[in-house]
Chains A and B, each alone.
Chain A
Amino acid sequence: MTEARVIKNIKDVPAEDLYTSGHRTCAGCGAALGYRMLLKAAGPKTVVLGPTGCMYVANGHQFLSSPYAVPWYHTQLGAGGAAGVGTAAAFRVLMLKGKRKMEDDINVVVYGGDGGTSDMGFSGLSMAMSYDYKRFLYVMYDNESYANTGIQASSTTPWGASTTFTPFGKIKRIGNSRMKKNVALTIAAHPGVRYVATASLYPPLDFFNKARKALEANGPAFIHLLVPCPKGWFFDPKYTVELGKNAVETGLWVLWEYENGEFHLTHKPQPRKSVDGYLKMQKRFEHLTKDQVDEIQRRTDKEWEYWNEMDKQKKIILPWVAPA
């Protein structure tokens, strides 16, 4: 196994775009930025499966246009894992049977949202991660809600966030009362998975290099990509990357990877900024009281004891924070 084709300089990112114009995503859409970076990393010999979600609804629609310069096929909301497996299975068997020319560098990539992945598609994702297809990567772009249907809570919506299904109200004084599901940790529990990582739009090459490593990991891979969403998080679109950076620098979003049984933090914010600044940039958190913000800080700090310990031991330990 050769080393993955990671890059160290932003100038080495391929100039060619495979996710191009022809879509109508919101200004400042984090998921669209992720798409663009993902396909730059994967290259032209890639088939992309798009479960229903923002990146389905917003990437077509007008004038029958398509932003994809690689083969792309929609799949149903909960079907990203199954679609990836079906596609990868077809390539492998058609090559083995001599029905298609043999090539070992065809990527199968699923780019699915948090709702379709962590909720409805969880079963199919788990199945997909239990097979052994090479160059098979599932990226969950996480904008922390069902954003295209109008910002409804998913199981990756953070505690406290106001969404249309978990609104702040006169008697319910907290928005979402569930904790954000750590999807990547659940995927790491699949023995056949070869690469698991969390990623962000910041640092700039973080996601690009993780996607490269994932595709070249010799087996199924999963990346949980946090993508700020101006529409659902309620912030000025010019701050998308800034928020991605803040999520990392406050330690609310932890960047790590798990490969060959070893865990590593890939970015250690030192010192971690207080969560307050990140939360204040987003209107979905505007109702939080000081006590509630303190509670988020307490949990974050406690969790980081685990993250640091994991990094030290190179092993996954499930973070546990007792409820207040």
Chain B
Amino acid sequence: MSSARTTSRTVTKTLPKQRLWTGTRAIAEAVKLADVDVIAAYPIRPYTGVMNSLAKMLADGEFMAEIIVADSEHSQFEIAKHASAVGARTFVGSSGVGLAYAAEPIIVTALGQLPVVAIAGCRALDDPGNFGMEWNDVFMFRDHGWLMSWAKDPQEALDMTLVAYRVSEDHSVLLPHFVAVDGAAITHVSTLVEPPEGDKVDKFLPPYKPMFPLDPSFGPVTKAQHIAPSLIGPELRKVVDNSISKSRDVIRHAWTTYSKVSGRNYPDFIECVDMDDAEIALVTMGAYSKDVIHVARKLRKQGVKSGVVRLRYFRPFPSEELTNALKNIKAVGVIDFSYGYGSPDSASVLFNDLRSTLYASGSRPAMMDFMFVGGREPSVEHFEQAFKLLQKNANKGLSEKQIIWPTLKGETS
């Protein structure tokens, strides 16, 4: 310290330009950086802020795009779908029941092989008009050909949005992409965000070039005509299936390339924390994974061999990565914000996908499901309790109760 003060030389270090942005604002900045052409908006909490930000940017001339204030989410997703078919880069989004209202266009967008990017601000489905956070709104479309990634904070939400365009528009993929952000916990919470430089993004994301644009200058393309299922029904399904399979390599490559754009290194499909020698692990996604990691590290200091796996992508599901990460684990728990009434064990969606993945693997750890449903917020105590129950399972074998609703009042777990 003292020598630094006495030296005559000045050391100048340029700090990266950081901004204090909410998740929705950070995503809006990504949309601007991506030079999106057509945006379709309709309000529903908690995603709305992204459209508020974009509308103001456009009103201030920060970039050029058509923003359509639609009459419904159904129209919103149709607008994006058809603008994409012409060759525009498009952006759309919704939350909760808004996504349910838009179900029809959402499903056909993937079948139309259109690289629409949508933000989903995760929100519980009605009734009641629940402002709480659940994943079932996005999970409605888990089987329909949309790529799905889950951000942990505003920075990653911005980065994921840019990478989403890159992956979706790759001609070997051409599928739409949900960037899911947990309602309130990301959409409405401000953290420091460092946007990448515009010229680097331009190189990373050149303008979208459709293979078969719906444009008279290209020729008379007929798209999605009515057909007899016996003619090409299974083949149409297979096209989407092949595309989502191919997206795995494209995703890996895109994040490698993006690390050079942003200077940030992300793992591609899953993030592993302290998993090398872990005996018990919690698997989760989204904003609360940071709290889960905090608890795991605290327990490490007490001698518990705890680890955390965070999925960054839910579709395509990172089966191979999860199988490898969990191969030496004795007991694994899922911190999940979804439900699957009447599904196997009436467990959560993520739990059942993970259990299905591990069925094929050599290791079959004990599994527990911690379902944070109905929008009531979890606390770090819940995650501590989850690790403790896992530890008990790891030592004594599977407990009777595997499916737990930690925030449910009146139930002891």
Residues of A at under 8 Å CB distance from B?
A: 44-47, 49, 56-64, 66, 68-76, 78-79, 81-87, 89-94, 96-97, 99-101, 103, 106, 123-124, 126-127, 131
Given the interface pairs A74-B223, A79-B75, A93-B66, the reply to whether A86 lies near B83 with Cβ below 8 Å is: yes
> Which residues of chain A have C-beta atoms less than 8 A from B227's C-beta?
60-61, 64
Determine the distance from Cα of A46 to Cα of B220 in the docked complex, in whole angstroms.
Answer: 9
Instruction: Among B68, B71, B104, point to the contact of A123 (Cβ < 8 A).
Output: B71
Listed from nearest, the 4 A-B pairs whose CB atoms lie closest are A86-B82, A60-B225, A82-B75, A90-B86
Determine the distance from Cα of A253 to Cα of B125 in the docked complex, in whole angstroms.
Answer: 46
> Which residues of chain A have C-beta atoms less than 8 A from B222's C-beta?
60, 66, 68, 71-73
Q: Give chain B interface residues in 209-231, CB to chain A under 8 Å.
A: 214-228, 231
> Which residues of chain A have C-beta atoms less than 8 A from B231's C-beta?
63-64
> Which residues of chain A have C-beta atoms less than 8 A from B218's C-beta?
71
**A73-B82, A123-B72 are known contacts; what are 10 more A-B pairs with Cβ within 8 Å?**
A44-B216, A47-B86, A68-B222, A76-B78, A79-B105, A85-B82, A86-B38, A87-B83, A93-B64, A106-B216
**A-B contact number at CB 8 A:** 167
Distance (whole angstroms) from the CB of A47 to the closest CB of chain B: 6
Determine the distance from Cα of A103 to Cα of B75 in the docked complex, in whole angstroms.
Answer: 26
B232 interfacial contact with A, CB 8 Å: yes
Distance (whole angstroms) from the CB of B28 to the closest CB of chain A: 17
Chain B interface extent, by class: 35 or more
Given the interface pairs A45-B216, A73-B82, the reply to whether A124 lies near B75 with Cβ below 8 Å is: yes
30 contacts between A and B (CB under 8 A): A47-B86, A47-B216, A56-B226, A60-B225, A60-B226, A61-B227, A71-B223, A73-B85, A73-B214, A73-B224, A82-B82, A85-B75, A86-B78, A86-B84, A87-B214, A89-B79, A89-B83, A90-B83, A90-B88, A93-B64, A94-B37, A96-B64, A97-B37, A100-B217, A101-B217, A103-B217, A123-B71, A124-B70, A124-B74, A126-B71
Determine the distance from Cα of A124 to Cα of B104 in the docked complex, in whole angstroms.
Answer: 14
Given the interface pairs A74-B223, A124-B72, the reply to whether A86 lies near B80 with Cβ below 8 Å is: yes
Distance (whole angstroms) from the CB of A117 to the closest CB of chain B: 14
Distance (whole angstroms) from the CB of B144 to the closest CB of chain A: 14
Distance (whole angstroms) from the CB of B55 to the closest CB of chain A: 15
Q: Give chain B interface residues in 366-394, CB to chain A under 8 Å.
A: none
B215 adjacent to A61 (CB under 8 Å): no
> Which residues of chain A have C-beta atoms less than 8 A from B225's C-beta?
56, 59-61, 64, 66, 72, 74
Distance (whole angstroms) from the CB of A88 to the closest CB of chain B: 9
B68 adjacent to A71 (CB under 8 Å): no
Instruction: Among A49, A106, A123, point to the contact of B75 (Cβ < 8 A).
Output: A123
Determine the distance from Cα of A58 to Cα of B87 in the docked complex, in whole angstroms.
Answer: 28
> Which residues of chain B have C-beta atoms less than 8 A from A93's C-beta?
37-38, 64-66, 88
B189 interfacial contact with A, CB 8 Å: no
